[in-house]
């Protein structure tokens, strides 16, 4: 009986085809979707990106951070600073913001990697609070009450409202594709294998020669840079920034964590499902205000207690399906391994 | 003919996903000392953990004084009068010698054993009563572990590999104390690697081999050949 | 003189922070549980203090007689009902569940009490002060500090000189073996959380008397509590008091330099201590 080791399955191949078709359809949205729908989709793409990145950090590298809002806010503020104070065109500012986020993350990582587990988590939150309090002291960007994106900066981005909406939308879609693509590439690479090993058993991974510190460091810094870029896009869309909004732990961490948990941590498919469920809940229940948020908290708790692998975990347990071909499979002569 | 204090019937026990005991049956009479021997991996510790409630099983598989206890939690089993001296001692590192003994007695079950009596049995412990339990030698830690179990005034004492990792002279000291411990009508099950020691203190012996009872006999008449055959599964 | 006053006031504030931290320290010590909702539970206690004192027309400190047992009961039920199921080697389940609890608590309080800032009225004692030379020591901060020290001393005594404390330490060491002693792990953890929330009840009422509060301030209190625990060093209840005092003094001195820098100064000192002594000032365990 001959065996072949393969990564793809019939499901993942189908998913790839469907994915490409979906992508083309989504890219064409400015022509078929209304303005409100495009804004919603843009928001979905950005949250999906945040969730995928948090999942990479916590679900794979074992770095449970409750302080990613530090980089969301940093990204937003950097963008406003670059465009307002340095006159950099918004489009060029975005990649710069990513670079800045990554650079800031370097000393932060060196500092907080000294903490472990739960204390690391709180440490990341403290860092975010330091960023928030510092931002509130920067009077040139509005201090504690924040500031708006000036009209001329907005106009410079593109001519006409429709063009700007389309641009913002495509940027959000682009970032989502970039983040998902990068996450997929990482997980398929040697780094990804190291991450999975690290996640399963850190001691064993270390004894195999995997440099734990360096692996975590790379993931943390990369995630920070991308999160900063997402922050920039979020606040370009909002046109206004303030310390409390930029560094909100509920908006950029609690909800992101809920998304990942509900969808399924430690998988690439999980955040996608989680984001869709989160937004579905929001669209249906948002009018209820605090009741909606309470319901969200209850759902998160129930999922964590009853289905810790999330919705995708439930689906995968039943079907063994994998949309993103990451794991290696052994396929024998019988067709059973091929799904 | 009195009823057994412990009756195990057709016990299938698992250690994680791995089945360690197959259809195991044995019994212990009140006041009896039963030895359980067998090679590593034969299932002896799984058996002890099952009886003490650390592993949950089918309720009927383990009966204590007639009550089906197989599915009870360890604290519920302990409350009924079964005390385990676990393999590897497993003392509480944050507690001193005396505190380890005191917590053994935290259920305040009535009986002859008390702090004073434990210290009379193992005088060295009284000298070192306030020392952190982890600072003691292996033999002394074993004494604490036994004392801790005795403080619960059990009717059934389970001793899992008490000679493991100890020097022969220490093992001798501890085994010399055993008759004084079990003499008062307490039933005991002793799991031992050291077959001679096991036979010397028990009235009956079971030999386990790959999760099954390969031999049952009276300790004073069972032959070396029979044991060897059962031990190695020949 | 301003600096000395700042240090004194900071020390007294540190007593409050130590109370925030004591509950956290107890829970982490016994169960290795990180409770993200801890700060919101402090705020809950403040609101309970409000309802009890205004509802019954009694002084907030008197209200403690009801708030403490109520919070203890909440803690026991919370632990046995939900949190016990999250315990294990994985860090995520308790973190996520308590995050969920935090969101639920904040919004429930918002729903019931609205976002308006509230304050517990303690009457004349709020402004009365003791003159010590050039220093004015408020009776209230002094009282709170003395209470904090007394509570922490009480916790220390309980941990090391009572059967309950032995049970906590043993269960924290080896859960399975503790069961062999007849200790029901679920019950022991429930008691630990009940005790932690009883302490938190005092912290919440003190907070409510000292400053105005609203449903959203829980996160900040959680961070102060954690900072105090980490600065003081893990596994050391007196260390937690020291950590609270260090934090309080840092904040006080920061405020002296620039009022907007109070909280930031505390964070900076915290980060500096992590950089230089990651295990804290007086660590007793890993």
Tell me: pLDDT of B153 over 60: yes
- List pLDDT tens digits, range A254-290: 899 999 988 988 888 899 999 999 999 888 887 888 8
Catalogue the long-range contacts made by A318-321 (C-beta closer than 8 Å, 24 or more residues apart). Answer: A319/A11, A321/A9, A321/A11
- CB–CB contact A294 C107 (8 Å): yes
Q: Assign A247 to helix, strand or coil.
A: coil
Mean pLDDT of A161-180: 90
Please tell me the predicted confidence (pLDDT) of residue B177.
84
The answer to whether A301 faces chain C, any CB pair under 8 Å, is yes
Any CB–CB contact under 8 A between B115 and chain C?
A: no
- Kindly list the partner chains of chain C, i.e. chains with 3 or more CB atom pairs below 8 Å: A, B
How far apart (Å, rounded) are the C-alpha atoms in residues B231 and B227? 6
The whole-number average pLDDT for the span A183-204 is 77
Give A314 to chain C, closest Cα distance, Å: 17
Between A136, A291, A300, which is nearest C100 by CB?
A300
| Pick from A317-321, B125-129, C253-257, C277-281: least confident | A317-321
Instruction: Tell me if B183 sits within 8 A of B214, measured CB to CB.
Output: no
Question: Is B78 within 8 Å of chain C by CB?
Answer: yes
Q: Residue A236 corresponds to which tokens in the numbers above? A: 């370009």
Instruction: Kindly tell me the sign of the dihedral angle through the C-alpha atoms of B217, B218, B220, B221.
Output: negative
Q: What is the pLDDT of residues B155-197, one digit of tens each?
A: 999 999 998 888 888 888 888 888 888 877 889 999 998 888 8
Q: Is residue A338 over pLDDT 50?
A: no
Structure tokens at C154: 């009480």
Q: At what angle do helices C163-173 and C139-161 cross, to 10 degrees?
A: 70
Highest mean pLDDT among A200-204, A232-236, A281-285, A316-320: A232-236
For residue range B69-91, what is the model confidence (pLDDT) as tens digits? 999 999 999 999 999 999 999 99
Chain B hits for C163, CB-CB cut-off 8 Å, are 102-103, 106
The whole-number pLDDT of residue A69 equals 97
Q: Smallest Cβ distance to B94: which of C169, C181, C184?
A: C169
- A24 pLDDT band, cuts 50/70/90, is confident
Q: Which of A129, A120, A111, A165 is nearest to A249 (CA)?
A: A129
CA pair distance B48, B58, nearest whole angstrom: 15
CA-to-CA separations, C260 to A142, C257, C264, in angstroms, rounded: 15, 9, 8
Mean pLDDT of A140-169: 84
Residues A266, A59 contacting (CB under 8 angstroms): yes
Is-contact A250 C103, C-beta < 8 A? yes
The partner residue sitting opposite B78, judged by closest CB among C167, C170, C181, is: C181
Q: What is the DSSP letter of B132?
A: B
Chains that touch A (3 or more CB pairs under 8 A): C
Interface residue B74 vs chain C (CB under 8 A): yes
Provide the whole-model pTM.
Answer: 0.89
The reply to whether residue A130 touches residue C100, judged by beta carbons under 8 angstroms, is no
Residues of A in contact with C106 (CB under 8 A): 293
Q: What is the pLDDT of residue A91?
A: 85
Facing residue for C174 by CB, picked from B78, B92, B107: B92
Chain C contact present for A249, CB below 8 A: yes
The per-residue pLDDT for A330 is 66
The answer to whether A230 and A221 have CB atoms below 8 angstroms apart is: no
Q: Determine the Cα–Cα distance for residues A270 and A308; give it in Å rounded to an integer.
A: 12
Report which of B139, B91, B131 is spatially closest to residue C169, judged by C-alpha positions: B91
Residue C186 has pLDDT above 90, yes or no: yes
B10 Rama sector, left if φ>0, alpha if ψ -120 to 50, beta otherwise: left
Q: Looking at the partner chain, which of C166, C167, C182 has a beta carbon nearest the beta carbon of B78?
A: C182
Q: Is residue C102 within 8 angstroms of chain A, CB to CB?
A: yes
Contact state of B92 with C167 under an 8 Å Cβ cutoff: no
pLDDT for residue A193 is more than 80: no
Give B19's strand partners.
B14
Helix axes A90-112, A69-80, angle to 10 degrees: 140
Give the torsion sign (CA, C30, A301, A184, A71). Answer: negative
Cβ contact C179–B78 (<8 Å): yes
Is a pLDDT exceeding 70 seen at residue C286?
A: no
The pLDDT score that the predictor gives to residue C149 is 95
pLDDT digits (tens, 9 = 90+) for C162-173: 999 999 999 999
pLDDT value at residue C1: 56
- Please state, in angstroms and rounded to a whole number, the distance separating the CA atoms of residues C38 and B134: 34
Interface test with C, best of B78, B99, B106, B157 (most C CBs within 10 A): B106
Tokens 């979905």 locate to A44
The conformation of residue C237, written as its DSSP 8-state character, comes to H
Q: Is A64 in CB contact (< 8 Å) with chain C?
A: yes
Per-residue pLDDT of B30-64, as tens digits, reads 989 999 998 888 889 999 999 999 999 999 999 99
C210 touches C260 (CB < 8 A) = no
The predicted-structure confidence for A119-152, as pLDDT tens digits, reads as follows 899 899 999 999 999 999 988 888 888 888 888 8
Q: Which of C80, C100, C228, C266 to mutate to test the interface with A (most CBs of A within 10 A)?
A: C100
CB contact under 8 A, C267 and A126: yes
Q: Classify residue B206 by its DSSP letter.
A: E
Contact call for A122 and C82, based on CB within 8 A = no
Residues of chain C neighbouring B74 (CB-CB closer than 8 A): 176, 179-180
B75 CB near a chain C CB, below 8 Å?
yes
pLDDT average, residue stretch C82-93: 87
Q: What is the mean pLDDT of residues B141-150?
A: 94
B-contacting residues of C 164-203, CB under 8 Å? 166-167, 169-170, 172-174, 176-185
Q: Pick the residue from chain A with its C-alpha nearest to C280.
A: A115
Q: What angle do CA B144, B148, B153 make, to 5 degrees?
A: 140
User: Cβ distance A227 to A50 under 8 Å?
Assistant: yes
Question: What pLDDT, in 10s, does the model give residues C7-25?
Answer: 998 999 999 999 999 999 9
- Euclidean distance between CA atoms B137 and B125, whole angstroms: 11
């Amino acid at each position: 009986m001959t065996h072949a080791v393969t990564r793809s399955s019939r499901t993942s191949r189908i998913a790839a085809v469907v994915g490409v078709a979906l992508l083309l359809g989504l890219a064409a949205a400015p022509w078929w979707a209304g303005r409100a729908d495009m804004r919603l989709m843009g928001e979905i793409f950005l949250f999906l990106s945040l969730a995928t990145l948090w999942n990479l950090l916590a679900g794979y590298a074992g770095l449970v951070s409750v302080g990613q809002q530090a980089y969301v806010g940093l990204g937003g503020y950097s963008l406003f600073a670059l465009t307002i104070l340095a006159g950099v065109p918004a489009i060029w500012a975005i990649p710069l913001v990513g670079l800045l986020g990554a650079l800031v993350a370097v000393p932060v990582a060196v500092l907080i990697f000294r903490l472990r587990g739960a204390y690391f988590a709180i440490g990341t939150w403290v860092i975010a609070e330091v960023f928030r309090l510092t931002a509130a002291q920067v009077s040139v960007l509005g201090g504690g009450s924040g500031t708006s994106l000036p009209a001329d900066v907005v106009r410079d981005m593109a001519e006409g409202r429709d063009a700007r909406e389309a641009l913002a939308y495509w940027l959000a879609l682009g970032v989502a594709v970039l983040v998902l693509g990068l996450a997929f590439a990482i997980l398929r690479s040697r780094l990804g294998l190291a991450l999975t090993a690290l996640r399963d058993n850190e001691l064993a991974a270390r004894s195999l020669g995997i440099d734990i510190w360096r692996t975590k460091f790379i993931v943390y810094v990369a995630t920070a840079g991308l999160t900063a870029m997402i922050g920039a896009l979020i606040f370009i869309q909002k046109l206004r920034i303030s310390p409390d909004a930029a560094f909100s732990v509920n908006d950029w961490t609690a909800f992101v964590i809920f998304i990942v948990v509900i969808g399924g941590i430690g998988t690439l498919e999980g955040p996608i499902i989680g984001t869709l469920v989160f937004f579905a809940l929001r669209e249906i229940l948002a009018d209820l205000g605090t009741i909606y948020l309470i319901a969200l908290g209850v759902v998160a708790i129930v999922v964590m207690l009853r289905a810790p692998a999330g919705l995708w975990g439930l689906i995968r347990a039943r079907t063994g399906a994998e949309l993103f071909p990451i794991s290696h499979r052994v396929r024998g002569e019988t067709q059973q391994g091929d799904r | 003919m009195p009823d057994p204090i412990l009756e195990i019937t057709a016990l299938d026990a698992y250690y994680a996903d791995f089945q360690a005991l197959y259809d195991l049956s044995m019994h212990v009479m009140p006041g009896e000392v039963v030895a359980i021997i067998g090679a590593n991996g034969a299932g002896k510790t799984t058996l002890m953990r099952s009886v003490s409630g650390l592993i949950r099983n089918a309720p009927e598989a383990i009966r204590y004084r007639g009550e089906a206890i197989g599915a009870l939690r360890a604290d519920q089993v302990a409350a009924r009068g079964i005390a385990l001296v676990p393999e590897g001692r497993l003392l509480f590192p944050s507690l001193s010698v005396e505190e380890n003994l005191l917590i053994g007695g935290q259920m305040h079950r009535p009986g002859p054993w008390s702090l004073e009596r434990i210290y009379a049995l193992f005088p060295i412990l009284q000298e070192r009563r306030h020392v952190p339990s982890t600072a003691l030698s292996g033999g002394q830690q074993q004494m604490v572990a036994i004392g801790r179990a005795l403080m619960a005034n059990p009717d059934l004492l389970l001793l899992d590999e008490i000679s493991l990792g100890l020097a022969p002279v220490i093992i001798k000291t501890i085994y010399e104390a055993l008759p004084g411990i079990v003499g008062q009508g307490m039933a005991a099950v002793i799991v031992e690697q050291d077959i001679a020691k096991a036979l010397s203190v028990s009235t009956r012996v079971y030999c386990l081999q790959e999760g099954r009872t390969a031999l049952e006999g009276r300790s004073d008449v069972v032959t070396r050949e029979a044991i060897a055959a059962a031990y190695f599964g020949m | 003189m301003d600096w000395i006053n700042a240090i004194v006031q900071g020390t007294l504030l540190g007593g409050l922070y130590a109370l925030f931290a004591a509950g956290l320290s107890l829970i982490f010590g016994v169960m290795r549980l990180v409770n993200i909702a801890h700060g919101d539970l402090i705020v809950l206690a403040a609101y309970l203090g409000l309802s009890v004192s205004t509802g019954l027309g009694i002084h907030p400190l008197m209200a403690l007689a009801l708030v403490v047992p109520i919070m203890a009961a909440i803690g026991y039920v919370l632990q046995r009902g939900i949190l016990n199921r999250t315990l294990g080697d994985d860090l995520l389940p308790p973190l996520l569940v308590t995050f969920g609890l935090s969101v639920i608590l904040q919004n429930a309080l918002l729903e019931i009490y609205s976002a308006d800032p509230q304050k517990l009225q303690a009457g004349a004692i709020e402004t009365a002060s003791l003159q010590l030379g050039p220093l004015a020591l408020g009776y209230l901060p002094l009282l709170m500090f003395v209470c904090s020290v007394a509570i922490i001393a009480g916790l220390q005594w309980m941990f090391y000189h009572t059967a309950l404390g032995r049970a906590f330490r043993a269960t924290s060491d080896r859960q399975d073996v503790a069961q062999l002693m007849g200790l029901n792990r679920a019950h022991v953890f429930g008691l630990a959380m009940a005790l932690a929330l009883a302490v938190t009840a005092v912290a919440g009422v003190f907070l409510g008397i000292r400053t105005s509060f609203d449903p959203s301030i829980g996160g900040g209190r959680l961070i102060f509590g954690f900072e105090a625990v980490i600065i003081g060093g893990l596994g050391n209840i007196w260390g937690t008091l020291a950590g609270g005092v260090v934090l309080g003094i840092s904040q006080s001195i920061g405020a002296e330099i620039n009022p907007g820098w109070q909280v930031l100064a505390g964070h900076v000192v915290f980060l500096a201590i992590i950089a230089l002594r990651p295990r804290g000032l007086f660590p007793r365990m890993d």
